[in-house]
A and B are shown apart, each in its own frame.
Chain A
Amino acid sequence: MDRIPILKVGDFLLVSIQVDMHDRMAMGLQDDLTTQVVKARAKGVLIDISSVEVVDSFIGRMLGNMASMTRALGAEAVVVGMQPAVAITIVELGLSLTNVRTALNVDKGMELLQSLVNPTAEAARHDSHEE
């Protein structure tokens, strides 16, 4: 069974969902991610859904679960790159993903993770930029 790859990028894990996932694949990803967060002692997880064209209530619930499980394991989670048509559909569907942090793209998502994981270091970086 094909699984969705999870990459280690420094202290973070990056998951990029590129294919049209069927349910078993989604469940597999959930398992893999929680295992990897512990194994890699990751501080944060970035889930890139910029290639995902359909998010129904099942996939939506799965994304929410992944975020919650990650946080339960002591790491932060950010979902990035949701497509406009998907966002509009999710709102119409009534799916509530309020507990999931989001960012526009991978770059901004990484920035957000850094600021969540290392708040004082981020503030210092900002100050030094303004000089």
Chain B
Amino acid sequence: MTTPRSNRIAEIFTRHEKPLLVDWLRVQLAARTVRKDLLPEADLRRESVEFLAVLTPACRAGSLTDIATPEWKPVCDFLAGISRSRATQGFSSSETATFVFSLKQPLFARLQEELGADAAALGDEIWTATALLDRLGLYTAEVFQKGRQEVIKRQQLEMLELSTPVVKLWEGILAVPLIGTLDSARTQVVMESLLPSIVATGSSMAIVDITGVPAVDTLVAQHLLKTVAAAKLMGAQCIVSGIRPQIAQTMVHLGVAFGDVVTKASLADALAYAFRQIGCTVIKQAPRT
């Protein structure tokens, strides 16, 4: 009769919880990656206690090879939590994963004590334990990465918003000078800032200036057309200015059709057009003598 393998590790966590915790903390505090500057010892202690508290029941109830099962949810949630908090505190992803990996040493020491005589069984248990802790440590790193990506995405969005200002050229005429590439994310931002401005200022003319957009291909043209279409539905006319000779050539070669959309080479031309549309005339006065 052999004790089912999966219970050994759970047993150790249950029976030796306190000494295991002591050893684990000692290993963590001795490591170069402990970062006492970022995380006080008391907090580290608390997190370690909490981790063992959710780890033990999961080992007893669940499979040791599949951490995606529901029994492991509390453990995964806990690890996701500390991974995110450590990311904001400034830890690197490997420093955070070490929290889990450092548990190996004390665990193996205990396994050695229990199974020292039986090399085969010891080998099995160490393999299971290391595979499990590896998986948990990697999960920590994954969540960390995802968190980082979200921060980057948010910052990119903020940058997009800052770089698409809507300016009022005249009563009833708005302009959006675009600088940089126009992808679908940027187009959304342009539409979401330009269109409400149109309503707020009661402007019936909007000029999107693409002098600062380096390349215009069929996709960029589509994005511009979407913006123009949305403005038209609202009752405003959106025209595009800043079409450089090169862009005009590319567009013709690509077969990009701007259709009914009014396009002008320069912002000045666009402004003149806009004035005419709203019924304004610019009169140059004779110089005073």
Q: Which residues of A line the B interface, CB within 8 A?
A: 79-84, 86-88, 90-92, 97, 102-105, 108-109, 126, 130
Complex contact A90–B234 (CB within 8 A): no
Complex contact A104–B230 (CB within 8 A): no
Complex contact A91–B235 (CB within 8 A): no
Q: Check: B279 CB closer than 8 A to any chain A CB.
A: yes
Complex contact A88–B192 (CB within 8 A): yes
Residues from chain A with Cβ under 8 Å of B203 in the complex: 104
Q: Given A82-B234, A84-B230, does the pair A104, B195 have CB atoms closer than 8 Å?
A: no
Q: Given A84-B191, A88-B195, A91-B226, does the pair A104, B233 have CB atoms closer than 8 Å?
A: no
Q: Given A84-B195, A84-B196, does the pair A104, B235 have CB atoms closer than 8 Å?
A: yes
Residues from chain B with Cβ under 8 Å of A108 in the complex: 202, 204, 235
Q: Check: B231 CB closer than 8 A to any chain A CB.
A: yes
Complex contact A102–B204 (CB within 8 A): no
The distance in angstroms between the C-alpha atoms of A62 and B192, with both chains bound, is 26
Given contacts A81-B235, A84-B230, A88-B195, 19 further A-B contacts (CB under 8 A): A79-B235, A82-B233, A84-B192, A84-B195, A84-B198, A86-B233, A87-B195, A87-B231, A87-B234, A88-B188, A90-B230, A91-B226, A91-B230, A91-B233, A92-B226, A97-B233, A102-B232, A108-B202, A109-B235
Complex contact A104–B199 (CB within 8 A): yes
> Which of these, A84, A92, A126, contacts B234 with CB under 8 Å?
A84
Give the A-B contact count at a CB cut-off of 8 A: 57
Q: How far is the CB of A73 from chain B (nearest CB, A)?
A: 23
Complex contact A84–B199 (CB within 8 A): yes
Q: How far is the CB of B139 from chain A (nearest CB, A)?
A: 36
> Which single residue of chain B is at the shortest CB-CB distance from A80?
B235
Residues from chain B with Cβ under 8 Å of A88 in the complex: 188, 191-192, 195, 230
Q: Check: B138 CB closer than 8 A to any chain A CB.
A: no
Complex contact B204–A104 (CB within 8 A): yes
- Interface hub of B199, B203, B231 (most chain A Cβ within 10 A): B199
The distance in angstroms between the C-alpha atoms of A80 and B202, with both chains bound, is 12
Complex contact B235–A90 (CB within 8 A): no
Complex contact A102–B202 (CB within 8 A): no
The distance in angstroms between the C-alpha atoms of A92 and B229, with both chains bound, is 10
Complex contact B233–A87 (CB within 8 A): yes
> Which single residue of chain A is at the shortest CB-CB distance from B197?
A84
Q: Given A82-B235, A84-B234, A91-B233, does the pair A105, B202 have CB atoms closer than 8 Å?
A: yes
Residues from chain B with Cβ under 8 Å of A79 in the complex: 235
Q: How far is the CB of A84 from chain B (nearest CB, A)?
A: 3
Q: Check: B107 CB closer than 8 A to any chain A CB.
A: no
Residues of chain B from 196 to 240 with CB closer than 8 A to chain A in the complex: 196, 198-199, 202-204, 226, 229-236
Interface string of B176-199 (1 = CB under 8 A from A): 000000000000100110011011
